[in-house]
A and B are shown apart, each in its own frame.
Chain A
Amino acid sequence: MPTDFLGRVVAVFQRYGMSMLQGAGVSMQIALVGTFIGCLIGFAVGIVQTVPTGQKDNPMKKGALWVVKLILNAYVEFFRGTPMMAQAMFIYYGLFPLVGLNPSMRQAAYFILSINTGAYMAETVRGGILSIDTGQTEGAKAIGMTHVQTMLYVILPQALRNIMPQIGNNLIINIKDSCVLSVIGVAELLYKTKAAAGALYMNFETYTITMIVYFVMTFTCSRILRWMENRMDGSDNYDLATTDTLAHTSGMYRYPDEKKEED
């Protein structure tokens, strides 16, 4: 073993680097899948929770909606209110065998992370929908859109843009928190790190590598998400669809078209 710190880090990396990078890949995969499915769950729950009920609706529909909202609320509160590590043990070792399911470790990891992210995202999506000015809804209703059309074409695209930073937040949290799933034996980055550090008795060096790998993953993701946000905003400029140069300079278009009258 080299005597200087950097040298030892390199040595640890040479021996356990591949295994740790594999673990990092697993972390990344779990985080991406969990965030993606979590977002889908979050959108579904958030949309249902913001369905308006009017006095004119029939009581059956109102009752059914009330029950569904109650169940979804319970889901959100339960998964936000208990630690994911405990949930992992509870679900993987308790609930799955109880209902006769036998998923692989990876599948269980996807499931637990998705359902957790979903609980948080549900509230984020609900907030995102509520953040859109009611004028947008009224504008959509006034041209005859139904609630579903209003949500699909007007509210959700704007809500999605507004909650993009929070989705990014969730992805980054998931990259790091996937390490919690090592309790059910998922061989992700932290699991591999523990193994390497334990084998060599070199905690400082091994964890230095781990920290760097985690940071590279999260920083890359946050940059990619920021780039996606900018793309969603579209261009700050727009082209005028006219050959009338007056419109370019003044920003005003004259009507009725004075040019035609001059001709």
Chain B
Amino acid sequence: MVERDHILEVRHLSKSFGKHVVLRDIDFQVAVGDVTCIIGASGSGKSTLLRCINMLEIPTTGEILYHDKDITDRGVNVSSYRSKVGMVFQSFNLFNNMTVLENCMVGQTKVLKKNKEQAKKNAMKYLEKVGMAPYIHAKPRQISGGQKQRVAIARALAMEPEILLFDEPTSALDPQMVGEVLTVMRTLVKEGITMIIVTHEMAFARDVSSHVVFMADGVIEEEGSPEDIFGNPRKAKTQEFLSRFIQG
């Protein structure tokens, strides 16, 4: 296997809430251009892992190396790290006090210190990409769930991040809206953006990912190429989990 540049490397990561251990000794790497899908049952720690990567949860032990620098170190500027790592949430988390356009501009003007015109131009570029350009004057409460999620993706993209994290981006949406969000995500995959996607959309994961991680009970049970995981899973837990999806 050709060794590519690792943009992100998780080493021996563990997370517990009180006595409850959610993640145990997680190791995995992400190379530039990788699309990593994390699959697994609810409660297996997928979302917590993703939140740890963005430091929304502080890992109990372990390291997260971003360009070989451990971001869990004391004194690391977490905000500036986060500005390079975009995140899309299950519950959208658009800023309710701003319009669609402002949502996509505020990070650029306040965090990246761009001027307003530049920020607007950039925001419009990404809003067009996700098909939300006509809705720039709407407030989040005025648009549908799928539209909100597309705006959330544009907001993350407008920061021009090196990695995009998706935390179950379609789990709160009805089937029709799932389609529109997945379509947008597929175009991003084609553009070669590095992504880590926590998802329950197995068909989507099989199609787009370059690497699949299957988690169960807080550990990485099995990982590999989508062909291996979906076509030829080795572990019993993986087989059981996937069989339910294939039958259903």
Report which A residues bind B (CB closer than 8 A). 54-56, 135-136, 138-146, 149, 153-154, 157-158, 161, 234, 236, 238-242, 244, 247, 251, 253-256
Please name all residues of chain A whose beta carbon is closer than 8 Å to the beta carbon of B156 when the two chains form the complex.
142-143
B residues sitting closer than 8 Å to A (CB atoms) are 54, 56, 58, 74, 79-84, 86-87, 89, 91-97, 99, 106-107, 110-112, 130-139, 142, 144, 152, 155-156, 159, 183
User: Which B residues are in CB contact (< 8 Å) with A239?
Assistant: 137
Contact present for A144 and B79 (CB under 8 Å): yes
B128 to chain A, nearest CB (A): 8
Q: Are B134 and A143 in contact (CB under 8 A)?
A: no
B8 to chain A, nearest CB (A): 16
Q: How far is the CA of A172 from the CA of B52 in the complex (A)?
A: 47
Give Cα A139–Cα B155 distance, bound, in whole angstroms.
10
Q: Report yes or no: B134 in contact with A244, Cβ–Cβ below 8 A.
A: yes
B172 → chain A, closest Cβ, in Å? 11
Given contacts A135-B91, A247-B134, contact A145 B96 (CB under 8 A): no
Minimum distance in angstroms from B85 CB to a CB of chain A: 8
CB contacts (< 8 Å) of A146 on chain B: these are 79
Verify B80–A144 contact, CB threshold 8 A. yes
Most B Cβ at <10 Å: residue of A143, A146, A239, A254 = A143
Q: A56-B74, A143-B111 are in contact. List 20 more A-B contacts (CB 8 A).
A: A138-B56, A139-B89, A139-B92, A139-B93, A141-B56, A142-B82, A142-B87, A142-B156, A143-B106, A144-B81, A144-B84, A144-B107, A153-B95, A154-B97, A236-B142, A238-B99, A240-B137, A241-B136, A253-B132, A255-B183
Interface centre among B97, B107, B142 (most CB of A within 10 A): B97
Rounded to whole Å, the gap between the CB of B162 and the closest CB of chain A is 12
- Asked, given contacts A135-B89, A143-B155, A143-B156, whether A238 binds B142 with beta carbons under 8 Å apart, the answer is yes
Pick the residue among B82, B87, B95 that contacts A154 (CB under 8 A): B95
Chain B nearest Cβ from A136, distance in angstroms: 6
* Most chain B beta-carbon neighbours within 10 Å: one of A55, A236, A241: A241
Interface of B is mostly: loop
Tell me how far the C-beta of B125 lies from the nearest C-beta in chain A, rounded to whole angstroms.
Answer: 14
Name the contact of A253 in the complex, choosing from B74, B112, B134, B137 (C-beta under 8 A): B134
Min CB distance, B176 to chain A, in Å? 10
Complex Cα distance A144/B144, Å? 26
Q: In the complex, A157 Cα to B92 Cα: how many Å?
A: 19
14 sampled A-B residue pairs with Cβ under 8 A: A56-B58, A56-B74, A135-B93, A138-B56, A139-B92, A141-B79, A142-B93, A143-B111, A144-B81, A144-B111, A144-B159, A154-B106, A238-B99, A255-B183
CA distance A158 to B134 in the complex (A): 25
Q: With A139-B89, A143-B83, A241-B136 in contact, is A255–B131 under 8 Å at CB?
A: yes
Interface of A (DSSP majority class): loop
Are B97 and A161 in contact, with the CB atoms below 8 A? yes
Which listed residue (B94, B111, B133, B134) contacts A139, Cβ 8 A? B94
Which residues of chain B are near A255, meaning CB under 8 Å?
130-131, 183
Q: How far is the CA of A141 from the CA of B107 in the complex (A)?
A: 10
Contact B54 A234 (CB under 8 A): no
Among the listed B56, B131, B138, B144, which residue makes an inter-chain contact with A254, where contact means beta carbons less than 8 Å apart? Answer: B131
Answer whether A241 and B137 are a contact pair too, CB < 8 Å, given A144-B79, A153-B106, A253-B132: yes
Please give me the residue from chain B that is nearest to A139 by CB atom.
B93
- Least Cβ–Cβ distance between B225 and chain A, in angstroms: 29
Chain A residue nearest in CB terms to B55: A141
Given A138-B89, A139-B89: A253 in contact with B135 (beta carbons within 8 A): yes
- Report the Cα distance A241→B99, complex, angstroms: 13
CB distance from B58 to the nearest CB of A (A): 7
Q: Which of A135, A140, A142, A154 is the one whose CB lies under 8 Å from B54? A: A142
* Also in contact, A138 and B134, with CB within 8 A (given A143-B83, A144-B107, A149-B110): no
Query: Which residues from B are CB-within-8-Å of A241?
Result: 133-137
Q: For A240, list chain B residues within 8 Å (CB).
A: 134-135, 137
The answer to whether A136 and B93 touch across the interface, beta carbons within 8 angstroms, is yes
Is B106 a contact of A142 with CB atoms below 8 Å?
A: no
* A residues near B97, Cβ cutoff 8 Å: 154, 157-158, 161
Measured between alpha carbons, how far is A55 from B95 in the docked complex, in Å? 27
